[in-house]
Structure 1
Amino acid sequence: MQGNLYEIDIRSILQLIELGQRTGQLFVEAHSFHKHPQAGRNQNRKNLSWIIFFVNGQIIYAVNGDRTLSRLSDYLHHYQVKLQFDEEQRVCLETLNAPEYAYLWTLLEQNIINPTQARSIIYSLVHETLFDLLNLQQGSFVFEVGSALTPQLTTLEVAPLLTKIVKQVQQWKQLYPHIQSPEQFPMLTDIVNLRSSLPEVTVNKLQHWADGKTSLRQLARHLNRSILIVAQAIYPYVQQGWVHLVYSNTTELLTNQQDNAFSLQQNHKQRILCIDDALSICTNIEAILKTQGYEAIAVTNPLEALSLVFEFQPDLIFCDIAMPQLNGYEICAMLRHSQSFRNIPIIMLTAKEGFFDRIRATMVGSTDYLTKPFGHTELVILVEKYLNNSGYEVIKQT
């Protein structure tokens, strides 16, 4: 059994394996593109992979493509256990399909952890893997029938896991656009308001965890909690702007920005973000606006754009309506629910000139509408209308 995730979703694949009482391994592969605001139009492609091991339709274990044992180390942190092996053992483990599983059994045999703890770790690792897979919208899969992973410490039924995790995925999506990925790193950005609004013990906990060095996923592992519970706990502080969520390659950048905040304000160029799945449109808008002295970036992936918008803090956004995964209406509505982007101009881009498209764009909070194709002068006039308008500046400051 093999195919693409746009033909059949992960949930259905898992249900088929369970119903068929299959024994073997499910391999899933996907690609992620990340573009940093300071990196121009270049995008870094990252291959992501997962393996789920089955016996008679039940899950024995699940692993992601990271063979460094880092996630097992995070889970062992909760039990105050550290990974200890020499270089030869490390190389040997990392050649296995399930190095974590092998090392977990080593810890059991040495009585460093007990079976209850090992089962809890396995459950958490499987839960984490399924959570990621159920969030996937594209990729490929292969199920290979084969012998079961041995020895077996526990088996997990698919149906109850799916029921629980599907609900969590739905709740997770409600945290957009403030929280988009378990791999984001929380950083304190407004300690003054935190101290004036929260008990000292809460502030101390936030200072300990929201250090810009520990991701939401690592927090969940260290605390032995689901990623959803951790995200929901930090969500109010992110919503207030007291905590920002960034990616690992932007932590240093944002720290430097905070240290030099006054200097940045004095030399601030007006920032414009363009979200459009057509690379030619992105390239055109970015080139035109840069020649006019604006700081402009363009993103072709709408999900990546949501993660960048809070880092880039644009003064104006161009957003295409017709895009995969998230359309322009959804993005606009999400941003309007954020206090940070409630009033900034959002201009919808579309190839259509339909009356109802304009009405719907207005209903979700768009500021204006630009029909493609458009000219250099038309684009610049529209930008200057909103960025150099004193009335808008007054609204933005309130």
Structure 2
Amino acid sequence: MPAQQNTPLVSPAKALQKVIAEQRSGRLQIQDINDPSIGWRVYFGAGQIHFAESTMGCGDRLRYILRKHSLGLEGLPTPADATSDYPLLCQYWQAHNLPLNNFRKLLAICTQEALIQFLAIAQSHIAFEATIGLDPLLLSVPFRQLILPVRDHIGQWAQIRADLTSPFQRIFIHDREQFLKFVWQEAEKWQQLQGISHDPAEATCLYDLAHQLGIDVLELAAGLQPLCRSGVLGVQPYQVITQEAQPVIACVDDSATIQQFVKLSLESSGYEVLSLQDPTEAIPHLVERQPLVILMDIEMPKIDGYELCRMVRQVDELKEVPVVMLTGRDGIIDRVRARMSGCTAYLTKPFNPQDLLAQVQKLATEPVVSV
């Protein structure tokens, strides 16, 4: 859930309670900060819970749940690339004309399993979307009714998270010698260790391993936790997330207040802000980072903005980079001096975040044209 990465950290339990107390309708999305490849979503209507699921790994999770509870859907297709449980379950229910009561029970079980996992998270990135709903809507249950039977599991998973973030994490044998020693000493636990690979590239997630062994995933995680903590078993994320490089915008300004304002205005829109407060040291950093746009104050100590802009235009690697002057001066002479120094655009203080963002977005995608 990349859109949530710039949101503040929030307790999922408190966010859930707030949505329920305000009787809101929509969808809450939760991203695990300890493993960004793992996410959860929960659907609400008037404060009632309609469904909860994972945002990835649907096949692994569903296969485990269906085998554990034996509700007559063992033949349900669970494609590896599925990103939502709900349409898969509804299509199977409609195609096979399954009893509605049994199907609602399965929806509740899937929801409980998801609630356990994300309520065990202390803090996460959370986003709420007010217009998202389910079609068809088949479940509407008070939160208390769902959570009371499984609340002890939440506390147990919260303790396990120090070593195993969630049942989606993949494990493999990291220390072969110590692993064999453990198996020799604890032969009765061999069942839980079958199916674990020595190859990190073939590491198995806990949901899949629990499905293969036919045991509860919480029991499995609790049994493997000491081995993970001691380093006998290695732990990997469910998926490796490749972070795309954020476009860089440089801000050369000796004012910490302006630097903070620029960061708040641009970082939430996916830009990385390179803050440079000493204009005498700016050029090497600008050459190294190659920003899309350079924001520059005119009134700075040692070197003013006009002189620094001229210096930028003399550097081959920077001469085509748009330069925006940030200044409280708005006279015709100031604009002429800015043009002669080679600046591209001019923003007069005070300006609002929307104006700054619009100017940056415009210049980041257009050729350099001086003011």
Give the TM-score, by structure 1 length.
Answer: 0.44
User: Rg: which structure is higher?
Assistant: 2
